[in-house]
Amino acid sequence: MASRKPAATGAAARTALSLDLQLKSRAAHVPARRQFAAWIAKALLGRAGGPVEITLRVVGPTEMRALNREYRGKDYATNVLSFPFEAPAGVTLPVRVLGDIVLCAATVQREAREQGKSVEAHWAHLTVHGVLHLLGLDHHTPRHATVMEGAEIAVLALLGYGNPYLLPAPSPQSPE
């Protein structure tokens, strides 16, 4: 189900985004291409420096676990992985290829339920998180984490979502 097409409507058109969306998960309720493109476009605003290409792959837990084991040495299906692209020395491309983002549908949906968040908001957060990694942000030190989380919160606010790092307050327990 791979499709490489320029995202030509709305915010995505203004960022000159070419999105290669690969849906390899059987999970229900995976966002539509248009939604992914809108989230990516907002994350790129003021940061892209011209036309960009991103591959976004939505996978199941088996593939994500294998990727996480191979590239990070961690044997579980994580929520998102990002693979920034660097062109070989001397190679000039007509667009800036940022790289690949891999999202695990089952993990995203499970985490949203566990954290009391809307599934849509969690998809948006992890998509933005992946894009920011492709742009060079990381969270390996407390200082870097603060910068990256601030960027995520700002982009998500532009999209109409709340701060993903503020978990909803637990419901009061009724007396027994």
- Per-residue pLDDT at 99 exceeds 50: yes
Spatial CB neighbours of 38, under 8 Å, sequence gap ≥ 6: 10, 11, 12, 159
Q: What pLDDT does 147 receive?
A: 95
CA proximity to 34, closest of 5, 64, 63, 74: 5
pLDDT at 170 over 60: no
CA distances from 104 to 72, 107, 166 (A): 15, 5, 22
Mean pLDDT across the stretch 87-95? 89
**pLDDT the model gives residue 172:** 56
Q: What is the pLDDT of residues 5-21, one digit of tens each?
A: 444 444 444 568 999 99
- Is residue 104 scored above 90 in pLDDT? yes
Give percent of the chain above pLDDT 90. 76
- For the chain, the domains span 3-158
Task: Spell out the residues 6+ positions from residue 128 whose beta carbon is closer than 8 angstroms to its own.
Answer: 39, 40, 42, 43, 152, 155, 156, 159
Can you give the pLDDT at residue 169? 53
Is CATH 3.40.390.30 the classification given to domain 3-158?
Answer: yes
Confidence band of 95 (pLDDT split at 50, 70, 90): confident
Write down the mean pLDDT value for the chain.
88
Cα separation, 80 vs 57, whole angstroms: 10
Does 89 score more than 80 pLDDT? Answer: yes
Which segment of 92-106, 107-121, 160-174 scores lowest on mean pLDDT? 160-174
pLDDT tens, residue by residue, 33-73: 999 999 999 999 988 888 999 999 999 999 999 999 999 99
Band (pLDDT 50/70/90 cuts) for residue 174 is very low
Per-residue confidence (pLDDT) for residue 76, from 0 to 100: 97
